[in-house]
Amino acid sequence: MTLDQLRIFVAVAERGHMTKAAELLGISQSAASAAIRALEQQHGVQLFNRVGRNIELAQTGRRFLPEAKAVLERAAAASNVLEDVSQTVTGSLSIAASQTIASYWLPRRLASFHEAYPAVRLSVTIGNTRQVETHVLDGTADFGLVEGRTESDILRRAKVDIDRLMLVVAISHPEIVEIAPGRPDIRGLRWIIREGGSGTLEVLEDLARREGISLAELQIFLVLPSNEAIRQAVEAGAGATIISELVVAGAIAEGSLRSVPIDLPKRDFAIITHRDRQASLAQMALKAHLSAKPMASA
């Protein structure tokens, strides 16, 4: 068996989907399928059960998964040793990032990192804060970028930037009743929100708690899975939302959205890493780059 076969097996096992695993690894679906078939045929085993169009780990696959992951971790550690000896920043990095960061904050920084370290291959997975935390914990991401609170004490967290949040409505939205200056009546608004586990939903929960009410007491009209979908729904007049300034700055400038005066805390953009995994030179270089303290090129 090869390391590539093991990487493909682990990716398919963790995602339960051949195509999604292939996309993550940057290969074709047919190549991923062929690698799994070859691994099964070489050892005369069945690693997955094919159930209709879906796949799930067979008993043999479940037993094999932790061993495969352990081999990949040892191979990565061995590669780190060679990098340390040569002081050459190479290899691949898997990043899990929350939506706001991945869509608006990260792309330009990755482009400039690539100019400095062209031998490093980067891949990005997008999810909410809870999903990013899970990817870092289970090792499918080398590190994560989040704006929400993390829960595991196994993770290290380092601030890389600050994000400003805004309460926005459509430009045509009726005037909002205020309990006091800068304190809108949030119970009187129809809310459009992100799904559970997102950083922006946490902020709304905190705001409701500050007003002495629960999230259940708000008029939650619509739950959407992405910032872009929320922005468009608010522009269409469907309701109000709390969202990053990075997402809505253009729409406010163009006049399709307006911000509502309210005291909202700023939030950190943070890198999270697993405390028990040794960082490679490439990981240290990217962390330094995103923290605006670029390492000198080797």
By DSSP bridging, strand 91-98 and strand 143-146 are parallel
Higher per-residue confidence, 134 vs 294? 134
Residue 43's pLDDT is what? 92
Q: Are residues 117 and 60 in the same domain?
A: no
Q: Are residues 106 and 178 in the same domain?
A: no
Residue 225's pLDDT is what? 87
pLDDT in tens, 204-256: 999 999 999 999 999 998 999 899 999 999 999 999 999 999 999 999 999 99
8 Å CB contact between 158 and 270: yes
Within-domain flag for 297: no
Instruction: Specify the 3-state DSSP secondary structure of 285.
Output: helix
Residue 87's pLDDT is what? 58
Residue 112 has pLDDT above 90, yes or no: yes
pLDDT in tens, 285-297: 899 999 874 444 3
Residue 232 burial (C-beta neighbours within 10 Å; 0-12, 13-18, 19+): middle
Residue 298: other Cβ atoms inside 10 A: 13
Residue 289's pLDDT is what? 92
Residue that is written with structure tokens 């007049």 in the block: 237
Q: Are residues 178 and 257 in the same domain?
A: yes
Within-domain flag for 298: no
Residue 198 has pLDDT above 60, yes or no: yes
Average pLDDT over residues 260-281: 89
Within-domain flag for 227: yes
Residue 164 has pLDDT above 70, yes or no: yes
* CATH for 92: 3.40.190.10
Residue 88's pLDDT is what? 65
By DSSP bridging, strand 219-224 and strand 241-244 are unpaired
Domains of the chain: total: 3
Within-domain flag for 111: yes
Q: Are residues 181 and 262 in the same domain?
A: yes
Residue 243, token pair as written in the block = 């969202």
Residue 33 has pLDDT above 60, yes or no: yes
8 Å CB contact between 217 and 187: yes
Residue 290's pLDDT is what? 92
Q: Band of the pLDDT at 85, cuts 50, 70, 90?
A: low
Within-domain flag for 296: no
Residue 276 burial (C-beta neighbours within 10 Å; 0-12, 13-18, 19+): exposed
Calculate the average pLDDT of the chain: 88
Residue 141's pLDDT is what? 92
Alpha helices, H only, 183-266: 199-210, 227-235, 245-254
pLDDT in tens, 6-23: 989 998 888 888 888 888
Q: Does residue 276 come out as left (phi exceeding 0), alpha (psi in the -120 to 50 range) or beta?
A: alpha
Q: Which domain holds residue 64?
A: 3-82
Strand partners, 193: 223
Average pLDDT over residues 99-105: 93
Q: Are residues 70 and 105 in the same domain?
A: no
Q: Band of the pLDDT at 81, cuts 50, 70, 90?
A: low
Q: Band of the pLDDT at 151, cuts 50, 70, 90?
A: confident
Q: Are residues 199 and 210 in the same domain?
A: yes
Residue 296's pLDDT is what? 41
Residue 76 burial (C-beta neighbours within 10 Å; 0-12, 13-18, 19+): middle
pLDDT in tens, 166-185: 999 999 999 999 998 889 99
Average pLDDT over residues 42-66: 88
Q: Which of 82, 112, 140 is the last residue of a domain?
A: 82
* CATH for 41: 1.10.10.10
Q: Which of 25, 60, 82 is the last residue of a domain?
A: 82
For 112-255, strand residue ranges (E) read 120-127, 143-146, 155-163, 165-170, 178-180, 183-184, 190-194, 219-224, 241-244
Q: Are residues 60 and 203 in the same domain?
A: no
Average pLDDT over residues 78-105: 80
